[in-house]
Amino acid sequence: MEFDDLSQSGIRRIADFSPYLDQLAGLAQEMGLRQRSNLVHLEGDLHKHWSLGQNNILSWTPLDDQILILVVPHYAIAEYTSPQKDSKKAQISAHFITELISGERQLSLTQMQKVARLLDVEPVHLKLRQPLTGHPTETKIIEKMIRRYGINYIASRAVTLFDIVGFSLLTPFEQMTQLNSLSYSLNSAHAKMLEQDVGINFARSSSGDGFYVWNRDDGLEANVNLYHFMHIVLADNAIARGKTTSRAVPQLRACFHVGACYEFHQAEGLNPTMHDFIVGDVTIELARMIDAALPGQILVGDFMADVSTEHIDPVQTQANLDAVMFLQRAQGNLSKLSGLELSGERVTAIKCYLTGEDMGGGQFNIRRLHIKDKHGLSRVAYNAKVNIYRETAQPILLGIEDKKLLMAVEPA
């Protein structure tokens, strides 16, 4: 057998390819050396057509001992949906392009031909060393490759923003130590959730003063798990702040929102990174909300979380959950974290809720906070609290009380 991937350039390509196998470690063991070599070869061809970010790869289709791919210049996606010079109409509907860069990127041969005609591009034929097997792991890896060399649209994704209070007033050394402390809290929370068999495939990107964090997994459960991940991060940070007298541990404020975003991979050197970045409505809303958040506050956006693909209670017939119902779902899901330990103390109960005015008799409404940003745009958010009770230690109380709010409010 010939495996010329073991040349110097081939070794570098295998190194680039290995993270795909790492992300699918359990399943990748089922693949033989020929299959891996075939995919390494394909990775090299995709890299050439990506051309240092000049192009985006939209879709793919297997065909005998080849695959067909659709390659367009990086600016073309915007141009397709823009009005043409000789017409007030866009060449292609924005909805069509959105559908094309959402979800699975594999098309049937008929679909590939129709899309190619519509976009006025010829499919590129990539010769493989052997036909694809159609094995699910092989398909998943190719999907990851195509997404890495393109842009992906996600209609409903939960994202949380952790922001370091007073970051710009810190010295560069203090900024470094506080970002490092926050990074450790993220990793620690991730490890604690994995110990409880609560899956979260979290990703992050810098906001400058902190991090945007999201779950790469999709669906309602993934979004709820991210919400719990947020308050474990905040709890770890609160414990660390209680143990130090220096400025090494940051004071945080946080926001949580669900919305649409685009995911992409920036170029790093001559390759796209393995780490994805996001931008879109959800990050814009978070950035505007965090500007109005008080030190220590947790804000939750006014969103509708898509549950159309989830198995939910038959009584729950709508395709979306609003923020209030989402938090109710999150509270009911907390049993998965029973047995969690924080600073050596076993957690006995966690309560997460949205605050509001005391109506008497132990009843509270939920207060809507109207936030106006620097552009004069207004949005609604909710103040959230999380109380974590432990066996013998003092409870960890996250967020701020409703009576301490300084923003203009309107009862729901």
- pLDDT score at 7: 42
Share of residues in the chain with pLDDT > 90 (%): 41
Running DSSP on this structure, what letter comes out for residue 245? S
Return the pLDDT at 288.
92
Contact 231, 340 (CB under 8 A): no
Answer yes or no: are the C-beta atoms of 96 and 110 closer than 8 Å: no
Residue closest to 147 by CA, chosen among 23, 303, 7, 35: 23
The pLDDT, as a whole number, for residue 58 is 94
Q: What is the pLDDT of residue 371?
A: 87
Model pLDDT, residue 10? 43
Contacts 24+ apart (CB under 8 A), 238-242: 238/396, 238/398, 239/342, 239/343, 239/396, 240/181, 240/185
Q: Which of 132, 110, 135 is nearest to 123 (CA)?
A: 110
Per-residue pLDDT of the chain (412 residues; tens, 9 = 90+): 333 443 444 444 444 554 555 555 444 566 778 888 888 899 999 999 998 888 999 999 999 999 999 999 988 888 887 766 655 555 788 889 889 999 899 999 999 999 999 999 999 999 999 999 988 888 988 998 899 899 899 888 999 999 999 999 999 999 999 999 999 999 999 999 888 888 788 889 889 999 999 988 888 888 999 999 999 999 999 998 988 888 899 999 999 999 999 988 766 656 666 667 889 999 999 999 999 999 999 999 999 887 665 444 444 444 578 888 888 888 887 777 777 888 777 888 888 899 988 777 777 888 899 888 888 888 899 999 999 988 888 889 999 988 777 544 444 4
Q: For residue 301, give the 3-state DSSP assignment.
A: strand
Distance (Å, whole) CA 178 – CA 189: 17
The residue ranges of every structural domain in the chain are: 4-150, 154-411
Is domain 154-411 in CATH 3.30.70.1230, yes or no?
Answer: yes
pTM of the model: 0.83
- pLDDT of 273: 61
Residue 395 and residue 288: Cα distance in Å, rounded? 31
Q: In which region does residue 152 sit, left (phi positive, over 0), alpha (psi from -120 to 50) or beta (all else)?
A: beta
Q: For position 266, what pLDDT does the model report?
A: 66
